[in-house]
Each structure stands twice: as C-alpha cells, then as structure tokens.
Amino acid sequence: MSGVGTSAAAVLVLFILLVIITSAFVI
C-alpha cells in the first residue's frame, strides 16, 4: 500500500512538472 502511494505521488509530481514546463513554453 505504501509503495502504491509513493509511486502515485511521484506520477503526480511528474505531471505537475510537465504542466509547468508546458506553460513556460506556451507563455
């Protein structure tokens, strides 16, 4: 259960970083 939560958090962080990078390119 702990491993699943950790991987989910990592995916969430990667997604947020991707959104920030995309916004930086768009702006």
Position 22, amino acid: T
Domain segments of the chain: what residues? 1-27
Exposed, middle or buried by CB within 10 Å (0-12, 13-18, 19+), for 8?
exposed
pLDDT in tens, 1-27: 567 778 989 999 999 999 999 999 887
Percentage of residues of the chain with pLDDT beyond 90: 59
CA distance linking residue 10 with residue 2, whole number of Å: 12
How much is the pLDDT for 27? 73
How much is the pLDDT for 9? 92
